[in-house]
A = this chain, B = another copy of it.
């Protein structure tokens, strides 16, 4: 039962009821000083009684304060994936522009921790209202987080999560669970009696952080250790992709071995490298599962060389990160701290409905 009979009550209504001026009500609402305890409480009570909610439109029309949301993510050169969250971030920015919000986007080199630190400091010096970043370098991030806490600057983690922090929110995927799911998918397609060998391939750049990879692998392996599958053997395989031949050599080795793979799980978005190998060598009947909707991956999915891509709707992660700060700063709403993206299963037959981000 809402008493919206009198349509919409505003600041001047509560002023009338409390026998004060709107100026006083305003001071109470922004709990500024210059108002006596008694009248403050009285006004507060009227506000409560009438169920006053501020008109956001009038609010941001009249207000002159600008909000700046700073964003720090890897540059697209070092990791094409980040184009996606950025899309969502930009979309959100467009929507909250009317409320005097603007963005300040900075990027760092994924293989260079120093660039991360430098950009972060620049941002802190510019004194933003909120901060979204991917804390991919653990130690440097701890330092940064410490500074944010001191400055009382609300910050949001995107993609990567660090425990025991006072971050406003986190948007990302449950990496362990995604690996677990990949394993289940793999088993569903493969295990029909007989022995099978499955390889976890980790194509990585030695200078870049590997946080996600290990969690995904962990989930994958956990699945097979829990679910009865005595006939299945899991092998792990690190590959340095800064050397261009390393991957081919490694794959050659296992293909020629006695333990030929029935399935390959590539724990990051470089699954297209493995797919290219399979295509070139005309290897079929190998289930290939990887991550993320990069253009190259999509092509191999459509060709049928990659069977499944695990995806995390990164655009939405970006979008919601921005919105969470908007909710916090402007709407004064409480926001959920943990926000896990869905673990989307993409195959040839449904890919077309995931490639166009629209909000």
Residues of B within 8 A of A340 (CB): 353
A349 within 8 A of B: yes
Cα separation A350 to B174 with both chains bound (whole Å): 10
The smallest beta-carbon distance between A11 and chain B, in angstroms, is: 13
Most buried by B among A56, A192, A341, A343: A343
Cα separation A177 to B352 with both chains bound (whole Å): 10
Nearest B residue to A57 via CB reads: B57
Question: Which A188-217 residues sit within 8 Å CB-CB of chain B?
Answer: 188-189, 192
The smallest beta-carbon distance between A41 and chain B, in angstroms, is: 29
Q: Is the CB of B61 within 8 A of A181?
A: no
Query: A350 with B354: in contact, given A57-B98, A61-B57, A307-B188 (CB under 8 Å)?
Result: no
Partner of A348 from the list B57, B60, B184, B350 (CB cut-off 8 Å) is B184
Question: Which A148-196 residues sit within 8 Å CB-CB of chain B?
Answer: 174, 177, 180-181, 184-185, 188-189, 192
Size category, A interface: 20 to 34
Residues of B within 8 A of A339 (CB): 358
Partner of A342 from the list B180, B348, B350 (CB cut-off 8 Å) is B350
Q: Is the CB of B58 within 8 A of A350?
A: no
Q: Is the CB of A344 within 8 A of B344?
A: yes
Q: Is the CB of A347 within 8 A of B347?
A: no
A345 within 8 A of B: yes
Partner of A58 from the list B61, B99, B341 (CB cut-off 8 Å) is B61
Q: Is the CB of A184 within 8 A of B349?
A: yes
- Proximity string of chain A (318-346) to chain B, C-beta cutoff 8 Å, 1 when within and 0 when not: 00000000000000000010011111110
Residues of B within 8 A of A174 (CB): 353
Query: A350 with B56: in contact, given A188-B307, A344-B344 (CB under 8 Å)?
Result: no
Cα separation A174 to B307 with both chains bound (whole Å): 21
29 contacts between A and B (CB under 8 A): A55-B61, A55-B98, A57-B57, A57-B58, A57-B60, A57-B99, A58-B61, A174-B353, A181-B347, A181-B349, A181-B350, A184-B348, A184-B349, A185-B347, A188-B188, A188-B189, A188-B307, A189-B189, A192-B192, A339-B358, A340-B353, A342-B353, A342-B354, A343-B349, A343-B350, A343-B353, A344-B344, A344-B350, A345-B350
The 10 closest A-B pairs by CB, nearest first: A181-B349, A343-B350, A345-B345, A342-B353, A57-B57, A192-B192, A188-B189, A57-B61, A184-B349, A181-B350
Which A residues are within 8 Å of any B CB, using their own CB? 55-58, 60-61, 98-99, 174, 177, 180-181, 184-185, 188-189, 192, 307, 336, 339-345, 347-350, 353-354, 358
